Amino acid sequence: MKNNLRGAKIDFHSIIESMWLHSKYYSSLLSTVVRLRESGDSYAALLVLFNMMELVFKSIREDDTHNLMDDVNWLYNNGLLTEDEKQFINSENGVRTIRNKMTHKDCYSYCIDINDVAYPFAEKETWDIIYDLIAPNTIWIINNVISRKA
């Protein structure tokens, strides 16, 4: 189990089961994320997780014509994201920054700076570190947004 934004433990399998009540599709995607990470492929797990987050946000907004930043702001302005959740997504080492480097740029030319240590994106271990840093809160946020909308 990992900690969420407030330091509480997150049980991914409980979230998968809870999510299944709202959407079998999103529950299946989240199961894929966890399975990929458990099999050692953090990079692929993050790609699926980030895609899932965007799909959930667009589905809840019922509009797929905007970018992720617009969707995050809309969810926040409509009470579906807290200030802490929005800040986590938009932070320097947050979801949007990592996602943009992974999907829109040659990510292997980048590093991530964590506690004044540079971790190159070209190293598999870096993706494990990023997954452990980002995935628990991202999963927690996705679950919160779905629950708030329901």
**pTM of the entire predicted model:** 0.85
Question: Which H or E run contains 2?
Answer: strand 2-3
CA distance 41 to 54: 20
- Tally of domains in the chain: 1
CB 56 within 8 A of CB 146: yes
Query: What is the span of the domain harbouring residue 61?
Result: 2-149
Could you read off the pLDDT tens digit of each residue along the chain, which spans 150 residues? 444 455 556 677 788 878 887 788 999 999 999 999 999 999 999 999 999 999 999 999 998 889 889 999 999 999 999 999 999 999 888 888 888 888 776 766 778 888 888 888 888 999 999 999 899 999 999 999 998 987
Question: Which H or E run contains 98?
Answer: helix 95-104
CB 23 within 8 A of CB 146: yes
Closest CA to 127 of 61, 72, 55, 46: 46
